[in-house]
Structure formats: C-alpha cells, structure tokens
Structure 1
Amino acid sequence: MRKTLLTIVVLFLVILFWLFLRKPEKIDLNISPDQQGEVPTTTSTGFTLSQNSIVVDLPKTNSTTTSPINLSGKARGNWFFEASAPVQVVDDKGNVLGQSHVEATGDWMTTEFVPFTGSVVYKNPTGTTTKGFVVFSNDNPSGDPERSVSVKIPINFKR
C-alpha cells in the first residue's frame, strides 16, 4: 500500500514539474496575404464563419491596456460553443501572456450576432516589449484547423 501511494505521489510530482517547466506556447502572428480580410470557414450547420463574424468593442484598436483587460462586443452565435469562446493576450513575439474566454450574454444558439463580455488577466511582457494583441478565436470543439477563425486586435501595454 505504501509503495503504491509513494508511486502515485512521485508520478504526480513529475507531471507537475513538467507542466511548470515546459516552454510557453507561441502564436504565429504572421498573416499571409490570402488571410487578410475575410477567411471563410464552413461550420457543421453549413453557415460560413469568417473574421466578419465578430465585432469587438473593447479593447479599442491600439489602446493602452493594463491587466485585467475588459472585453466586449458581439459575435455570431456559431462563434461560441456552450456560450463561450477563447481569447488570449499575446506579445508582439507571439508569447501567450494570458488566456481566458468571453461569454455570450444572449441566446447563442443562432447565426445572428450575440453580445459577449469577458476579461483576461495577463502578466506584463518581458524586456522592452510594449505592443501585443488580444486574439479572439471561435470555439472550435472539432479541432479541425479549417474551422478555426481568429481576429487579432493590436494593443499597447502600459509600462
């Protein structure tokens, strides 16, 4: 019994150690010419999802932000899954500084626009980095890259 318990504790500590020491996730911020503008994606409902499927009110483009950053806007109902969609704050090198989700505040089971709100707590970027992005992504439970759409809002970090 003691050996089993000791094995479980050691395995747990190894997994915990691995989680804290792995390299941070990077997001590719390079947009190819064919990605500028509308990027259509067909959903399982046959409705085409694109970057025009979301309107972000907060944060404003190129606004100076502090943590936590408040988020609001509207997106088509099929941008969400179970009334939420992921959002990340990244620096200009693609390092993820914080992540959370926005919540639909209306009936999200529609193809019409639905208001959303949320916030993201993020750590300040290292070095001299003052620019970054808030990346709004559609919730894509299928994991199919062809169904993934995201919109990047440029922001400035307050020092």
Structure 2
Amino acid sequence: MSKLIMSLVVLTGMLVGGFYIFNNYIYHEKQAGEAVSTELERDIYSDKFIDESIGITFDYVAGPDGYAIDDLSAFIGEDLIIEVVKVYRIMNAIEKYELENSEGGREGPPAIQFMVFRNDLNQTASEWVKAFPSFSNVEMVIGDVDYNFIVDGASAVRYTTDGLYVTDNVVLTSDNFIYHFTGSYHEIDSTIHQDFEAIIDSIEFITNTSAPLKVPKIIISSPVINQKVSNPIPVTGQAQGSWFFEATAPMVVVNWDGLIIGESYIEADGEWMTEDMVSFHGVINYSLPVDSYSNSGTLIIHRTNPSGLPEHDAAIEIPIVLDS
C-alpha cells in the first residue's frame, strides 16, 4: 500500500511539474508572438524629412503609429548666448494627441528633438559641446563621451545624459551650423530608441540651392567665449579677405543691455584683397561703470560693408566677462 501511495505522489508531481513547464512554454511563446505581431502591426511608413535652409535630411517613421514632426522655432527665446536657428520636435503621433488633449499639467512623454545653432565661431562638434554646456547638457553625462563618432562622413560627438529620462545626444557640424539631436527613452530596447538610431543612421547633408550669399569665414583666437577680460582687450584671429575693406573692419564692445561701451577696429596683417584666410589683430578699450548691473558683455566684430547692402552685412559675437 505504501508503495502505491508513493507512486501516486510521484506521478502527481510529474503531472503538475509537466503542466507548469508546458504552461510556461505556452506563455513565453505567446509573449514572443505578441512582441513580433505588435511590431508588424504598427501602422507606419517611411518618410523623409528635408529642410534645405539648414542643409539636412533624414528618414523617419511616419503614420498613425509613427511620429509627427513639429517646427517649434517660433518659441525660440531672445537674448540667448548663441543663435538658435531651428527647433524641431519628433513625437509619437498618438502620445502627441494624448498630451495635447490632456487636462492639467503633466510631464511629456519621451521624444526626439533636434536644435540647429548658427556656428559663427566655426567650432568643431567637440569644441561646441564643451563651450556651451547649458545647451549640450554634457555636464549631466553618464558613461563615456565618444568624440570620434561619424555622421555622413562628418565628425560628431555622441554621449548619454541623465534627467527625467535617459537621453542619447548626437552633436554634429556642417557648413555654418551645429546640429544637436536628442532622443529620450525609458528602456534602451524601446521602440523610440531604435527609431532614434535609425534617424541618426540616415542623416545626410544637402546643398541649399536657394541659399543667400555665403558669409565669409572668420575665426576668433582671442578672446575666447566667456573669458574674463580687462582694458585693453587684445583681439586676434583670422578672416577671409572679403571681411575687410582697406584692410580694416569695425568692432565694438556692448554691455549686458546692448549699449555700446567701446569702439575700435581690427586690422589685417597682410594682403587683404584675397578670398584666403588672413590673420588680423586689434585692441579695444571699454568703459564699464563700477556700479553696473552686470559685468556680462559681448565683443562684436562686423564685416566692413561699404556697399551698405543688407545682404553683405555680417558679424560675429563673442560673449565675455568684463572686469570693472
């Protein structure tokens, strides 16, 4: 009798264990099938974003289950330390609808965004990331920064930052622009993270056939951005010859409120009637009241424009800290 009872216990255990294993197998097969079918059932199609004014194009996932791209450039603030040219938000179309129709304040969902900045200082991507941490967010980086990343043959910088969401950052340069792409996500294997990767992989630089006249290049060696300066300020750098007229170009120092507090000029060191880069030098003094509200200032070097035509106007601005 005891042997019979023992046999029944063993048989029952085998049946229960077998049922558990079989049920667990079915569960995982179902989960895998749902994951595949969900991806296949996304109502999406591939579309192409093109903006000739900033010289860039890329592919993205569109459709009811894809993304909507919004131009948020109208909301760019004033008095920024660097010129923001364009701001685009790429958000899941369903989540965008829910966000726009929700009542009360709520946090936005993970999204992709890219900002375009004027690269008047002719900086590399790595130089820009370090010079403008308030925009690059590099001070919130987690892990390593890849300074050898490449996008469409151009040098770029890639890194990940922490915040409300984990965010991948890709910064690249082309012509007169800095492009900063960000993609936030909850999980690294999430759909939005994969779609962000696809966007970065498809980026191409294009030529703007209707672009205005190209502004001649100028590079400022001294002072550098946010450098603390005192009287007199030595100014050095290089510029294409067409920046000058009669070998000079005007420059001013303005205070935090845009008031001119110093005027002078830079002078080409050699032959200026050329399209080649020419080194230059100059010195400028300023008058800052001791009780000034702020010691923030800006050095502005203007392109000489004897024609007076607005299309020939150009200037470069260097934020500086003025010693009173």
TM-score (ref. length: structure 2): 0.36
Alignment partner, residue 3 of structure 1: none
Distance 1:85 1:148 in 2: 12
Letter in 1 for 2:118: Q
Distance 1:41 1:80 in 2: 20
* Aligned partner of 1:36 among 118, 123, 127: 118
Give the superposition deviation at 1:91. Answer: 1.1
1:139 is paired with a residue whose SS is coil
Is residue 2:215 matched to residue 1:49? yes
* Aligned partner of 2:277 among 101, 113, 116: 113
Structure 1: which 5+ runs fail to align? 1-27, 43-47
Distance 1:54 1:127 in 2: 31
1:49 is paired with a residue whose SS is coil
Letter in 2 for 1:75: A
Alignment partner, residue 14 of structure 1: none
Structure 2: which 5+ runs fail to align? 1-77, 87-116, 120-175, 178-210
Q: Deviations over 1:17-43 (max 9, x none)?
A: xxxxxxxxxxx966462672339753x
Give the superposition deviation at 1:146. Answer: 1.5
Please identify the structure whose Cα radius of gyration is greater: 2
Give the superposition deviation at 1:56. Answer: 0.4
* Aligned partner of 1:136 among 291, 301, 310: 301
**Within 5 A, what are the aligned runs for 1:80-159?**
80-125=244-289, 127-159=292-324
Letter in 1 for 2:315: S
Question: Root-mean-square deviation (CA), in Å?
Answer: 2.2
Alignment partner, residue 23 of structure 1: none
> Does the 8 A contact of 1:63 with 1:156 survive in 2?
yes
Distance 2:264 2:79 in 1: 19
Q: Deviations over 1:36-55 (max 9, x none)?
A: 2339753xxxxx324xx001
**Within 5 A, what are the aligned runs for 1:64-75?**
64-75=228-239
Distance 2:222 2:257 in 1: 22
Q: Deviations over 1:103-156 (max 9, x none)?
A: 000110100000000011110155221111100111011111221111100100
> Does the 8 A contact of 1:89 with 1:98 survive in 2?
yes
The structure-2 alpha-carbon separation of the partners of 1:41 and 1:88, relative to structure 1 and needing over 3 Å to count, comes to: farther
Equivalenced residue count is 125
Distance 1:29 1:143 in 2: 26
The structure-2 alpha-carbon separation of the partners of 1:107 and 1:71, relative to structure 1 and needing over 3 Å to count, comes to: same
Distance 2:79 2:251 in 1: 15
Q: Deviations over 1:2-29 (max 9, x none)?
A: xxxxxxxxxxxxxxxxxxxxxxxxxx96
Using CA pairs below 8 Å that are at least 6 residues apart, which structure has the higher relative contact order?
Answer: 1
31-40 or 133-142, larger mean C-alpha shift: 31-40
